[in-house]
Amino acid sequence: MPDMTKTPDRSRTRFPGISSRAYEHPADRSALVALRSLTGFDTVLRRLSGLFSERAIRLMFLGGSVRVGEDQFRNIHDMVRDSSYILDFDEVPELYVVQDPTPNAMAIGTDKPFIVINTGLLDLLDDEELRYVVGHEVGHILSGHAVYRTMLLILTSLGARLAWLPLGNIGIAAIIMGLQEWQRKSELSADRAGLLTSQDPEAVKRALMKMAGGSRLTEMNAEAFHAQAREYDAAGDVRDGLLKFLNLMRRSHPYAVVRFAEIDRWAREGEYQRILDGAYPRRADDRDAKISDEVKNAANAYRESWSRTADPFIGKVRDVAEGAASAAEGLFDRIGRRGGGGQTREN
């Protein structure tokens, strides 16, 4: 249990034993369940990262930023402690504040991940909006995103050495595109974790609006911003849809309007409320999660998003995407049957 330095904030619902599967986007969750099944590899990665890169990075922030605590940035320390308490995380991650005007936050590390928040974000957001951001980063840590992102980056780096082979560049580009798509979905997962810790959908939306348009919230309107998200989704014609796809390449995060629409839908359509009511998967059952089931959930989530979208480009490629999704489901069904159900170990 987190080491609470004062009475935790009990005005928000707490989720004892909650699994990160409760808030993970299906596409993110299927990738994580598959990666967690690689027994032993993540343990080796944790140790290597701890010996080499993570120590250096931690020392860099220890020497060049401010570590929050009882005596420094006490209100942010309370937020990270409360987020850990609400998500029943077994420790309170360290958090560092860095002098940087760019509004940004991140979770770093594999052996003992920690959070970094730029002063630009502190200056931009009010306390309730900042609470969502802190919960977002705690969600990344609870899901193990930092660990598995590092694993995939290492695999990509190894693969890049084979780029000289015939068609090597095409193969590496496909891997990178897949990693970036997963990373964007992991941001949607962390947004949901941020909402679960803040339990204030309007504060989450305000934060996303400010990340897009700056601090002058009085000049912005939530309904108009949502309409902007619908217009972005619909695009104009197939050319616009293709340009949207190209614009997303190499982006680590979905656009703010997309995140706004996604968190609004998740908050309204019942899953968020079910978790608040106590109906959520438990960490103790993580070992029973099956890769084949999660791949099907991811495929269904994509199908639902394709059916909702008005993007004409998606309409043109939907049949190809459906075929790929069905092929993936069949492949993991066969793997699951051969592997005795495809069970994974606990994270």
Among all residues, which ones are annotated catalytic?
137
Among the listed residues 273, 270, 261, the one whose alpha carbon sits nearest the alpha carbon of residue 234: 261
Instruction: Tally the residues of the chain.
Output: 347
294 DSSP 8-state letter: H
The packing angle between helices 312-338 and 238-248, to 10°, is: 50
Q: Are the CB atoms for 197 and 131 separated by under 8 Å?
A: yes
CA distance 69 to 64: 16
Tokens of 238: 């197939």
Q: Are the CB atoms for 185 and 25 separated by under 8 Å?
A: yes
- 47: how many CB neighbours lie within 10 A of its CB? 12
Among the listed residues 341, 275, 328, the one whose alpha carbon sits nearest the alpha carbon of residue 30: 328
Token look-up 């993540």 returns 42
Amino acid at position 69, single letter:
G
CA distance 213 to 31: 32
* Cα angle, residue 169 at apex, residues 46 and 325 outer, rounded to 5°: 75
Q: Give, for 256, the enclosing helix (H) or strand (E).
A: helix 256-268
CA distance 54 to 62: 12
CA distance 291 to 179: 18
- 147: how many CB neighbours lie within 10 A of its CB? 23
Tokens of 176: 């990178």
Q: Edge to edge, what strands does the sheet with 114-118 contain?
A: 66-67, 95-98, 114-118, 105-108
